[in-house]
Amino acid sequence: MLPQALVALSLFLSAVQPASALWPQPRQITTDQTALKLSPGFDIKLTGIHNAPKDLTDAVSRTSSFLRKDKLEALVVDRGASSAKVVKAAKSLKALRVSLTGDSKTVKSISEEATLPLESRSESYTLTIPADGSDATLQANSTLGLFRGLTTFEQIWYELDGNTYTLQAPFDIVDSPAYPYRGLMLDTARNFFPVEDIKRTLDAMSWAKINTFHWHVVDSQSFPLQIPGFMELSQTAAYNSRAVYSPADVKDVVSYAAARGIDVIAEIDTPGHTAAIAKSHPEHIACPEASPWTQFANEPPAGQLRLANEQTTKFTSSLLTSAASLFKSHYFGTGGDEINLNCYAKDEQTQAELTAQNKTIDSALDAFTQASHKALKAVGKTPVVWEGKQTSLKNPHKYSSTSTEMLLVHPVTLDPETLVLVWISADNVKSVVDKGFKVIHAANDYFYLDCGGGGWVGQNVLGNSWCDPFKTWQKAYSFDPLANLTPDQHHLVQGGQHLLWTEQSSPSNLDSTVWPRAATSAEVFWSGPGGDVGAALPRLHDLAYRYKQRGVRAISLQPEWCALRPGKCDLNA
Amino acid sequence: MLPQALVALSLFLSAVQPASALWPQPRQITTDQTALKLSPGFDIKLTGIHNAPKDLTDAVSRTSSFLRKDKLEALVVDRGASSAKVVKAAKSLKALRVSLTGDSKTVKSISEEATLPLESRSESYTLTIPADGSDATLQANSTLGLFRGLTTFEQIWYELDGNTYTLQAPFDIVDSPAYPYRGLMLDTARNFFPVEDIKRTLDAMSWAKINTFHWHVVDSQSFPLQIPGFMELSQTAAYNSRAVYSPADVKDVVSYAAARGIDVIAEIDTPGHTAAIAKSHPEHIACPEASPWTQFANEPPAGQLRLANEQTTKFTSSLLTSAASLFKSHYFGTGGDEINLNCYAKDEQTQAELTAQNKTIDSALDAFTQASHKALKAVGKTPVVWEGKQTSLKNPHKYSSTSTEMLLVHPVTLDPETLVLVWISADNVKSVVDKGFKVIHAANDYFYLDCGGGGWVGQNVLGNSWCDPFKTWQKAYSFDPLANLTPDQHHLVQGGQHLLWTEQSSPSNLDSTVWPRAATSAEVFWSGPGGDVGAALPRLHDLAYRYKQRGVRAISLQPEWCALRPGKCDLNA
């Protein structure tokens, strides 16, 4: 970690003289203005790494491929043409030497490093690119750190007349993330996403150094996950027999992600958001598809696990542990959001069970949650939960105001290691941290990618999205992860993420809804907050244009006229 | 045209018992519940059409191809599986017989029919599909009408176990549009769209019977149109040498569109929105790229034609007529929106010219407009203009409040044949119609596809789109084209359109921003207004799913759970 003053200084300098189009901005970077190009025989050499892990050599191959194929022209009016002479005369870089610091006898793969507990990962690296043509060097104390450095190296170069060049050598970069968790959540239950779309998203995430894919894999609308021992769930509640993730698919996604420095935290939301389970196990579900749904759930269809039933509690624990076994991650999401009290009030069985056990909903929820969390911990998983306070009328989630949240309203006992996703409002973070929990920032008022897309509930002519307006990249970029917290609470903030709920999203608009917006939280939680929106914009353009070169349909943030003229389209330009 | 009562009746009946997933809904349709499938040797036969135009036989081939390749499963929970027996036992349809009514000696091509003046086109057709397996018939008095009927025929069929079937035979359809103009506007100047993206959009438009591509081809940010005699404009102000539309490209787009029943109305906005011209003709442009742009234009860069200069006026007329010669259409857009008065006030040359000619801005604008319109009329083109009233503070377009509009503020003399696009507010239609002009509905408060996408101007952290919120398909669908008008004014309403300004759009999000939303105005202006949003939704899902089958990235309007269960996700379900 850099001293805060030096970080602030480097951010300030980069704002005055944008050093490069790197995204996220490295924590410490110095550059100058010498042209340098890649030699035709440019090579990336792993030096001193015996038995280099395959995912590291694969990563090197991908970097080499991007260097050849990106062919991104500089985002200036003439797309670099006026630099032709300078580039032609520039020195050539022949090699990037990649090496590990520390004990090279115990080299872990990127995949192993990426799936360690958050506190055990090292993503730091140093990258030096001299201006005189002598070899560049990339060093780290982990293969994961080397991978992050390769990602940075890829972003340095532009294309002109067959040359791959920079005008800003030399580079001296010392980099490490400000926060250990930088994520993206995708809901694959409201609408289904084939594995190829997920993989393309994982690639794009890795290019912005996002290290967690939070996979909201099932929900009330569909259950695409095939879980050993629970195949009837996907058989009856997947949208169709092709809209499923088999154990082989999951393994594929998990290993593809891990090789790109990404941990996959899957989530099976409980006890709410479980209507799909009623298709094969009606005995476990209260108020399945009850009507009118507005009284029983925040969105259709209604249906919640019978939290006071012993068999349902066992079923849930068994389901979660079996599902968790498909994933490498140390973490697994159990949900806990939007529990509809009316659903349980109207479920005669649940009411009878509460009475028989002399329990309230609160104590039943506590017991239910503790049972499933205990089961997950027994198989080595740390739970991840959604938290918030009771939905206020001012900000009703979706269309109902009868839902509630676990942690802040009900006295649910959670292990202090539990990761708590704060989604209803960034203002709730303080209350969660005050209870001593680790938090992941996931506030809808900053990071929900689906807000502002219009209302989707039928027969609601003048409706718009429940969390209007659209959450701009600028809003996300202005987020302060430490707002209202005391210095001794700062360590509880693990990071944050953008999120895509997919009531109105599908493969058709996945890329365009996510990119480049989701890269802004990646920078907030890697580089640290406080960056200037105006200084960030040219770099974000650069990232978006590079994504397009790589086949990810990132949107245009401005007319190209503006993208080629930094600052000219600022409000006061 | 059907008597109004019968139209109303048929809409009412279809709401009670959705007859089919046709979009736009035919004006008159009766169906029943007999299964029918296409024979393996199903054929579309042109009968009695000697020397059938190539664009008609091509259209028949495309229909045959869609019938084979759509492979759309019915949007019901089991995707049609429970109908397997019924479909297997269904009668087979061997042929669709296609014929022209009236004088077959003077058969015009679809392309000729589609580019006639609005009042001269006939798009009506009758389509009969018996349930007993006897041949279906499609009749019209124009090839354009036949093409519309083919488009309807394509939407009738679903796929199951290799069968292409309907459960709703017989069909009796008598159809014709409520309004002659149903359009889509695309701005190709803020960001560039390759011809292939335009062609895909034209295909998608034709599937919803949209008949006008309003091509806002150039603007202040870039000038991609190559115009004979004015090649310097695109040479200096296209984004790059590949981001241009050559005369051959234009011919390609125009003929591709016409063959699909679409007239291409191009637009070169004047006198505002012309900064790009300053790159090659600085002598014609006032306040080019003036700073701060907020004082000189509604968005960057500033720059307007020197409307009081004789040479500039001649240049403009010549430019417009040369550009218009590239297009078949009888119409050509000359703009007229967002004229910035401060730009002219600060331009010493314009002020000197006004003084010398003893003109006000109003009288200069009148003379300038009349000159270019006269030139266009001399080459057979009817002008299309943007109109509105002075931008109010309540609804400032983009970020400036100093702009004004031609017709309602300035006493500009326009030919009564001029088509007037009303964009600032649907409330302005009445004032334009009161002046006796023909109007095209293009209100931003209903039809702007770019609203709600976030603010794009730099250094505006909390900004959102100027026309927030997002304009939902439901809002567009609820539009009343005749609001506030007297019966004797109804004939002045020519139709309407959705519009995509592309400050934040590019090929990455073209399809997902436009479809299926833009199909809602297509139905309002084909079927007539007053349709029920709840009854429309299942049909709109069907259209969107069919678009996806055809390679157009239409978005999901709801979770698939809802799409397969009509009504279940309504607000009060």
Q: Where are the alpha helices (DSSP H) in A361-488?
A: 361-378, 406-409, 429-434, 444-447, 473-477
A183-187: average pLDDT: 98
Searching chain B, which residue's CA lies closest to the CA of residue A192? Answer: B560
- Structural tokens at position B113: 């029919």
% of residues, chain B, pLDDT over 70: 92
Asked if A29 contacts A19 with a C-beta cutoff of 8 angstroms, the reply is yes
Give me the phi and psi of B448, to 5 degrees please: -80, 115
Which positions in chain A touch B445 (Cβ < 8 Å)? none
End-to-end CA distance of chain B: 36
User: By CB neighbour count within 10 A (0-12 exposed, 13-18 middle, 19+ buried), where does B311 fall?
Assistant: exposed
What local confidence, expressed as pLDDT, does residue A363 receive? 92
Are the beta carbons of A80 and A160 closer than 8 angstroms? yes
Contact A51, A107 (CB under 8 A): yes
The arithmetic mean of pLDDT across residues A351-361, rounded, is 97
- Selection from B6-10, B111-115, B393-397 with the highest mean pLDDT: B111-115
Which domains are assigned to chain B?
4-175 (3.30.379.10), 181-529 (3.20.20.80)
Contacts of B296 in chain A (CB under 8 A): none
pLDDT of B19 over the 70 cut: no
Q: Is A338 among the catalytic positions? A: yes
CB atoms within 10 A of CB B259: 22
A508 touches chain B (CB under 8 A): yes
Q: Do A470 and B478 touch (CB under 8 A)?
A: no
From chain B, the residues in CB contact with A570 under 8 A are 457-460
Q: Is residue A551 exposed (0-12), middle (13-18) or buried (19+ Cβ within 10 Å)?
A: exposed
Q: Stretch A356-368: mean pLDDT, rounded?
A: 94
- CB contacts < 8 A, A to B, total 242
Place of tokens 């191009």: B266
Give the angle subtended at the CA of B111 by the CAs of B108 and B114, to the nearest 5°.
95
- CB contact B301 to A (< 8 Å): yes
Q: Are A19 and A149 in contact (CB under 8 A)?
A: no
The answer for residues whose C-beta is within 8 angstroms of residue A499's C-beta and 6 or more apart is A184, A185, A214, A423, A442, A444, A447, A448, A449, A450
What are the chain A neighbours of B573 within 8 Å (beta carbons)? 291-293, 300, 458
A230/chain B closest Cα distance in angstroms? 21
Convert A14-31 into a string of H (helix), E (strand) and C (coil). HHHCCCCCCCCCCCEEEE
Residue B97: both structure tokens together: 């017989």
In chain A, whose CA is at the least distance from the CA of B557?
A504
Span A42-49, mean pLDDT?
96
Of the candidates A453, A458, A564, the beta carbon closest to that of B567 is on A458
Q: Over the stretch B321-356, which tens digit does the pLDDT of each residue have?
A: 999 999 999 999 999 998 999 999 999 999 999 999
pLDDT, tens digit, 9 for 90 and up, residues B248-289? 999 999 999 999 999 999 999 999 999 999 999 999 999 999
Residue B509 sits at the chain A interface (C-beta within 8 Å): yes
- Looking at residue A345, what is its pLDDT? 95
Q: What is the nearest CA distance from B443 to chain A, expressed in angstroms?
A: 16
In the predicted structure, residue B5 carries a pLDDT above the cut 90: no
pTM value is: 0.95
Taking CA–CA distances from A540, the nearest residue in chain B reads B458
Is the pLDDT score of B395 beyond 50?
A: no
Q: How high is the ipTM of this complex?
A: 0.94
Q: Is B533 on the interface with A (CB under 8 A)?
A: yes
Q: A407-411, A521-525, B211-215: which has the minimum mean pLDDT?
A: A407-411
CA dihedral A234, A240, A244, A248 (to 10 degrees): 100
- Looking at A25-29, A47-51, A357-361, which range is the least confident one? A47-51
For chain B, give the mean pLDDT: 92
Task: List, for residues B507-536, the tens digit of each pLDDT value.
Answer: 999 999 999 999 999 999 999 999 999 999
Tell which residue, A261, A266, A260, has the closest CA to residue A247: A266
Alpha-carbon distance B570 to nearest alpha carbon in chain A (angstroms) = 4
Question: How far apart are alpha carbons B468 and B462 in whole angstroms?
Answer: 13
CB contact under 8 A, A533 and B458: yes
Residues of B in contact with A478 (CB under 8 A): 461
Give B94: exposed, middle or buried? Use CB within 10 Å, 0-12, 13-18, 19+: middle
For residue A397, name the pLDDT band (cuts at 50, 70, 90): very low
Closest partner residue to A560 among B192, B562, B571, by Cβ? B192
Query: Chain B partners of A239 at a C-beta cutoff of 8 Å?
Result: 560-561, 564
Residue of B456, B512, B571 lying closest to A557 (CB–CB): B456
Q: Choose, from B123, B338, B353, B405, the residue flagged as catalytic.
A: B338
Q: Do B461 and A455 touch (CB under 8 A)?
A: no
Which of the four pLDDT bands, split at 50, 70 and 90, describes residue A20?
confident
Is the model's pLDDT at A11 over the cut of 60? no
Strand partners, A225: A245
Residue A413 pLDDT grade (very low, low, confident, very high; cuts 50, 70, 90): confident
Q: How far apart are CA B442 and CA B493, in angstroms?
A: 12
What is the mean pLDDT of the segment spanning A298-327? Answer: 98
- Tens of pLDDT along B125-147? 999 999 999 999 999 999 999 99
User: Is residue A559 less than 8 Å (CB to CB) from chain B?
Assistant: yes
* Residue A362: count of CB within 10 angstroms of its CB: 14
In this predicted structure, the answer to whether residue B394 has a pLDDT above a threshold of 70 is no
Looking at B196-243, which runs of residues are DSSP E strands?
Answer: 212-216
Mean pLDDT of A522-538: 96
User: Is A444 a residue whose pLDDT tops 80?
Assistant: yes
Give residue A473's pLDDT band: very low, low, confident or very high (50, 70, 90): very high
Peptide bond between residue B170 and the one before it cis (omega within 30 degrees of 0): yes
Residues of A in contact with B474 (CB under 8 A): 454-455, 460-463
Say how many C-beta atoms besides its own lie within 10 A of residue A438's C-beta: 21
* Amino acid identity, position A288: P
Q: A338, A353, A387, A523: which one is catalytic?
A: A338
SS3 string, B549-569, reads: HCCCCCCCCCCHHHHCCCCCC
Q: Using CB atoms and an 8 Å cut-off, which of residues 416-475 of chain A contact chain B?
A: 452-465, 468-475
List, as ranges, residues 25-84 from B with C-beta within 8 Å of A.
79
Q: How confident is the model at residue A19 (pLDDT cuts 50, 70, 90)?
A: low
Average pLDDT over residues A202-208: 98
Sign of the dihedral through C-alpha B187, B188, B191, B196 = positive
- Counts of helices then strands in chain B (DSSP H, E): 20, 18
SS3 call for A67? helix
How close B239 gets to chain A, by Cα (Å)? 7
* CA–CA min distance A297, chain B (Å): 12
The pLDDT of residue B102 is 81
Out of B399, B461, B509, whose CB is closest to A533? B461
Chain A neighbors of B457, CB-CB under 8 A: 569-571
Q: Which residues of A touch B301 (CB under 8 A)?
A: 561, 568
The span from the CA of A412 to the CA of B448, in Å, is 47
Residue B559 has its nearest CB partner, among A292, A452, A503, at A503
> How many Cα atoms within 13 Å fall on the side-chain side of residue A546?
27
Closest to A221 (Cβ–Cβ): which among B192, B293, B559?
A: B559
User: CB contact, 8 Å: B86 with chain A?
Assistant: no
Nearest-CA residue of chain A relative to B567?
A: A458
The answer to whether the CB atoms of B567 and A294 lie below 8 A apart is no
pLDDT surpasses 70 at B9: no
Q: A196 Cβ partners below 8 Å, 6+ apart?
A: none
Question: How large a percentage of chain A has pLDDT more than 90?
Answer: 87
pLDDT confidence band for B403 (50 / 70 / 90) = low
**Is B560 an 8 Å CB contact of chain A?**
yes
